[in-house]
Amino acid sequence: MRRSLVAAIVSAALLAACTSARESAPARTATEQLLLSSAVDRAAQALMLDLPPDAAVYVDASLFEGLDGKYAVGSVREQLLRRGARLMPNRDRADIVVEIRSGALSIDDEKALLGIPAFDVPVPLSDTVSTPELALVKRDERRGTVKLAAIAYDAHDGRMVDATGPRYGFSHITDWTVLVFSWSNSDVLPEDKAIPPITSTLRDFGLGGQP
């Protein structure tokens, strides 16, 4: 009887186990910034302009709008440098102007739940009571989507040199919950920085076998 009681207490403790961490609360989360910057990098890498070798280029971002716009402009400038362009501080010293623009620079959030969602229950002569969510399987996916385009033209006569058309970059962070177990996967962090898979999480509680 005593062993059964101890086992029940341990099992309840495992099911109720949780972690907490003190975090700062800036206006934007690191998750949002990672999603956008990762998608921006991928879209910028796809902006392939056919420019003359060693071209003197001025990047015109006056028409570029969007959240994290400075990071996006910096990513485009990096790609131009990597492909042999020389960036000029003003138009007067440039032979070619590269004008960049953004068609999308944002995040979508899609949730799916197999179970019972949380809902409010009215209580007579009192306030409503919120019931907890009961999830058998739950998926919460946040997707970063970026659309960039660039056009290059002669800085002296305004004739078009080349244009990319729209180029896209995507990123995602997906959180999964199955019963009491949760894990995440994403493409915004290196593998050695990624959140451990569910087997590692189970092992932390002594349930996953030998490493």
pLDDT (tens digit per residue) in 84-132: 999 999 999 999 999 999 999 999 999 998 988 887 878 776 778 788 8
Two structure tokens written together for 90: 């003003």
* C-alpha dihedral sign at 198, 204, 210, 211: positive
Question: What is the per-residue pLDDT for 195?
Answer: 53
The pLDDT of residue 128 is: 80
- Mean pLDDT score across all residues of the chain: 82
Average pLDDT of 56-60? 97
Q: Does the pTM exceed 0.95?
A: no
Task: Identify the residue whose tokens are 């101890």.
Answer: 6
Sequence-distant (6+) residues with CB within 8 A of 38 are 144, 169, 171, 187, 188
Give the integer Cα–Cα distance in Å for 144 and 101: 17
64-70 contacts, C-beta under 8 A, 24 or more apart: 64/100, 64/101, 64/102, 65/102, 66/102, 66/104, 66/105, 66/106, 67/36, 67/105, 67/106, 68/33, 68/36, 68/37, 68/40, 68/105, 69/102, 69/105
- Distance of alpha carbon 64 from alpha carbon 43, whole angstroms: 14
pLDDT computed for residue 193 by the predictor: 59
Dist. CA 178–CA 27, nearest whole Å: 31
